[in-house]
Amino acid sequence: MLASEAPRSDTVETDLLLWWEDFYLPVFEYVLPKMGGLEGKRILELGTGTGGTATLLAKRGASVIGIDLLPFRLAEAQARATKYNVAEAVNFALMDAMHLAFPDNTFDFIISKSVLVFTEHSHIAKECYRVLKPGGKAIFMENMRYHPAVWLYRKLFLKYSGKLRYFSMRDIETVGAEFAQLEHREFHLTAVSALFWQKCITIPLFYRWTLRVFKAIDTSLLKCLPFLKRFCWITAMICHKG
């Protein structure tokens, strides 16, 4: 696909997901249809990083502001927007997501990926509610707390993880309580096992096969046993401002 071409509404450009693309792809496939047509919409991205999501949304016609606390990341984000010919539709700013320097009722959407775990949940939810337009939506894609394998990995290899506010089902409800309506879906229960063939013993064919099989298993398990969603890896929250 040429950079200047508009993507189909039912496809996600995986090269712009930037990391863990196989695992974030179904999350974005759930989230993007909830946003509808983005032509002319104003979107704020919290923790834009290197600008993959901001660029993806700008390619769909949105006007995007991406904020982050790391100046070198913002420079990389600007370069990515330029590469994909959407630099005029995207602005990047150094800003703390806990203290948004925007007037009330500014944005149609707010979106973030793995940002709220670094914040106080109810406070940032209030800030997002404030700057959303009436009828707007805040979309938070976050890491959950209780997946057994992910929990063990964090304990062994991520020494700073104890300071992060990973999400439980109660935390999801806490964020949703600041809005008029909350809908959410959880992803990746057994599918995380496929990473063994990608990270430990690199066999791409086995990785792709097991990922596909375990995703299907997850779909069935979470439908039949919804209490298991608390043990998933990722949650996607869609919070509506009334």
Q: What is the DSSP string of 31-49?
A: HHHHH---TT-EEEEES-T
CA distance 77 to 56: 12
CA distance 86 to 3: 9
Amino acid (1-letter code) at residue 169: M
Q: Has residue 213 got a pLDDT over 50?
A: yes
CA distance 21 to 39: 25
CA distance 222 to 229: 6
CA distance 6 to 86: 11
Task: Quote the tokens at residue 182.
Answer: 């909350």
pLDDT at 3: 38
What residue spans of the chain are helical by DSSP H?
A: 21-35, 52-59, 71-83, 121-131, 148-157, 169-176, 195, 204-224
Q: What domains sit in the chain, N to C, each tagged with a CATH number?
A: 14-188+233-240 (3.40.50.150)
Q: Has residue 52 got a pLDDT over 60?
A: yes
How many Å separate Cα 220 from the centre of its chain?
23
What's the burial of 19, exposed, middle or buried (CB within 10 Å: 0-12/13-18/19+)?
Answer: exposed
Task: Quote the tokens at residue 122.
Answer: 């109810």
Calculate the dihedral angle through the C-alpha atoms of 150, 151, 156, 161, rounding to the nearest 10 degrees. Answer: 100
pLDDT at 4: 38
Average pLDDT, the chain: 94
Q: What's the pLDDT tens digit per position in 4-51?
A: 344 444 578 888 988 888 999 999 999 999 999 999 999 999 999 999
Task: Quote the tokens at residue 159.
Answer: 């020494």
The more confident residue out of 236 and 161 is 236
Q: What's the pLDDT tens digit per position in 92-119?
A: 999 999 999 999 999 999 999 999 999 9
Q: What's the pLDDT tens digit per position in 54-89?
A: 999 999 999 999 999 999 999 999 999 999 999 999
Contact 45, 90 (CB under 8 A): no
DSSP-assigned letter for residue 196: I
Q: Specify the 3-state DSSP secondary structure of 187.
A: strand
The more confident residue out of 132 and 6 is 132
